[in-house]
């Protein structure tokens, strides 16, 4: 990004720029962007500005599922891809809201401001730091779209050189991409070790990390939270003791609705990680009438045992995260399925069961077994014409049971046929 890019962004924030953006959005909606672009250039609008307007219009459209007010925000492509969705950022900012120390909060590596705009909702003074001038400018704009009177000091600097005296809490979201390319797993800029050391200078620190973060990297006394939106695992966040809630692991599921609908439903499960299976700390037993496929937030947090206790469920295999029980429980932390058939995994036998059921759709879930899912699907359901309209939608769960490959042929539990669970709703 260049100074010229900054100039185009400033231009887009003027009344004539807003009009240009509207025309670009309308042309995109009608699939008429090429001709609309030509018309604008022919009318004397600078080609760079026309390109910037179309880029913003396209990014706003893409961001609509991420940010409720995307149509007023600005983005860069890389900044949007790395940004925190509004609902996730709001959930996280609640931790900072409860800080007793009333000092200002710092958003280091602020990007396009996905987290900054949520932190602004707390109402404290903010320090936003990024070394990319375009991101920094965009972050302040986006923050003010949500909180027009936000007190934000924008600091164009390397976060490692910023004075954090008087800062009560820091959120840092280090870059995991550079020059448009994803950095190797575990690599970030600045590195995780630097981010964690911030806790030596600032009372409360939260660090966003990739959801695949090895949990061994979480310092003692810190909490790691894995956050999913619906069934999609989005991120991990490491919280220093001042922001941790007394447990070392947390799995949070934000139930998908429209982005940042005021009442986004947050379900959170806390606890200590499951002991290693070899230590015998798992409750294992015969399959009941129902199977539960835990949220990836729960499996990554190592809270499958905690979930089993809450649901009154148990594992069919000590090493595999599927749970089972005799009653259906409605829970945000797992997808409940009713077991229709349970048999050793043999494609011909399972295919025969499916034919006998006259199924309308087939979903495959696999844990603990190798094999390409698409190849298995073709073997189980050679032709789409084998699907029977009006028949049950079936999930075949492929896993290990009794030390051998096993198949559970399942259907969803109808609404109302399940009981609510007792897990925390926050």
Ligand X SMILES: C[S@@+](CC[C@H](N)C(=O)[O-])C[C@H]1O[C@@H](n2cnc3c(N)ncnc32)[C@H](O)[C@@H]1O
Q: Which of 33, 115, 223, 317 binds ligand X (CB under 6 A)?
A: 115
- Binding segment toward ligand X, per CB under 6 A, in 105-113, 120-128, 199-207, 337-345: 105-113
Alpha-helical runs (H) found in 64-85: 77-82
Is the Cβ of residue 73 or residue 301 nearer to ligand X in the bound state?
A: 73
Nearest distance, CB of residue 380 and ligand X, angstroms: 41
Q: Does 189 bind ligand X (CB under 6 A)?
A: yes
CA distances from 155 to 73, 126, 396 (A): 20, 11, 53
Pick out residues in 65-94 that bind ligand X (CB under 6 A).
Answer: 82-84
Is the Cβ of residue 92 or residue 300 nearer to ligand X in the bound state?
A: 92
Contact predicate 126/155, CB 8 Å = no
How many chain residues interact with ligand X (CB under 6 A)?
Answer: 22
Q: How do strand 181-182 and strand 177-178 relate by DSSP bridges?
A: antiparallel
Q: Does 130 bind ligand X (CB under 6 A)?
A: yes
Nearest distance, CB of residue 139 and ligand X, angstroms: 7
Contact predicate 301/274, CB 8 Å = no
Q: Which of 91, 95, 124, 135 binds ligand X (CB under 6 A)?
A: 135
284 DSSP 8-state letter? B
Is the Cβ of residue 154 or residue 320 nearer to ligand X in the bound state?
A: 154
- Residue 378 CB neighbour total at 10 angstroms: 12
Q: Does 235 bind ligand X (CB under 6 A)?
A: no
Nearest distance, CB of residue 345 and ligand X, angstroms: 41
Locate 272 and state its tokens.
Answer: 């200590």
Please give the span between the terminal C-alpha atoms of the chain, in angstroms, as a whole number: 40
Contact predicate 350/396, CB 8 Å = yes
Q: Does 109 bind ligand X (CB under 6 A)?
A: yes
Q: Which of 41, 69, 131, 330 binds ligand X (CB under 6 A)?
A: 131
Q: Does 395 bind ligand X (CB under 6 A)?
A: no
Q: Which of 21, 36, 150, 159 binds ligand X (CB under 6 A)?
A: 159
Contact predicate 205/221, CB 8 Å = no
If you search the block for the tokens 């010229």, which residue do you land on? 4
User: Phi-psi category of 79—alpha, beta or left, where left has phi over 0 and alpha has psi -120 to 50?
Assistant: alpha
Q: Does 237 bind ligand X (CB under 6 A)?
A: no
Q: Which of 27, 68, 112, 311 binds ligand X (CB under 6 A)?
A: 112
Locate 106 and state its tokens.
Answer: 């710092």
- Binding segment toward ligand X, per CB under 6 A, in 111-119, 277-285, 348-356, 407-415: 111-119
- Nearest residue to 335 via CA among 365, 301, 315: 365
Q: Which residues bind ligand X (CB under 6 A)?
A: 82-84, 109-115, 129-132, 135, 158-160, 173, 175, 189-190
């Amino acid at each position: 990004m260049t100074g010229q890019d900054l100039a185009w962004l400033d231009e887009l924030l003027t009344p004539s720029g807003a009009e240009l953006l509207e025309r670009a959005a309308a042309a995109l909606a009608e699939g008429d962007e090429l001709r609309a672009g030509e018309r604008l250039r022919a009318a004397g609008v600078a080609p760079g500005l026309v390109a910037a307007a179309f880029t913003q219009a396209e990014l706003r459209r893409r961001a609509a599922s991420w940010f409720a007010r995307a149509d007023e925000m600005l983005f860069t492509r890389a900044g949007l891809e790395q940004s925190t969705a509004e609902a996730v950022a709001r959930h996280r900012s609640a931790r900072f809201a409860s800080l007793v120390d009333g000092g200002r909060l710092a958003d280091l590596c602020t990007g396009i401001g996905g987290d900054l705009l949520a932190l602004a909702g707390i109402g404290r003074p903010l320090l936003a730091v990024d070394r990319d001038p375009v991101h920094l400018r965009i972050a302040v704009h986006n923050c003010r779209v949500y909180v027009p009177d936000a007190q934000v000091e924008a600091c164009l600097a390397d976060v490692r050189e910023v004075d954090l005296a008087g800062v009560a809490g820091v959120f840092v979201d280090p870059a995991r991409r550079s020059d448009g390319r994803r950095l190797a797993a575990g690599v970030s800029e600045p590195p995780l070790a630097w981010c964690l050391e911030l806790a030596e200078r600032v009372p409360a620190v939260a660090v966003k990390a990739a959801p695949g973060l090895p949990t061994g990297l979480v310092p003692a006394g810190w909490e790691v939270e894995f956050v999913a939106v619906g069934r999609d695992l989005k991120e991990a966040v490491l919280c220093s003791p001042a922001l941790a809630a007394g447990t070392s692991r947390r799995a949070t599921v934000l139930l998908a609705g429209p982005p940042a609908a005021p009442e986004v439903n947050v379900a959170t499960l806390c606890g200590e990680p499951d002991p290693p299976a070899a230590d015998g700390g798992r409750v294992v037993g015969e399959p009941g009438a129902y199977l539960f496929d835990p949220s990836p937030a729960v499996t990554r947090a190592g809270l499958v045992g905690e979930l089993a206790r809450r649901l009154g469920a148990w594992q069919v295999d000590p090493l595999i995260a599927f749970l089972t029980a005799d009653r259906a429980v409605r829970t945000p932390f797992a997808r409940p399925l009713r077991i229709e058939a349970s048999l050793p995994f043999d494609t011909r036998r399972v295919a025969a069961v499916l034919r006998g059921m006259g199924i309308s759709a087939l979903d495959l879930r696999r844990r603990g077994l190798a094999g390409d899912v698409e190849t298995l699907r073709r073997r189980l359901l050679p032709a789409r014409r084998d699907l029977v309209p009006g028949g049950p939608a079936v999930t075949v769960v492929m896993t290990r049971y009794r030390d051998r490959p096993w198949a559970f042929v399942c259907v969803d539990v109808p609404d109302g046929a399940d009981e609510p669970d007792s897990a925390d709703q926050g």
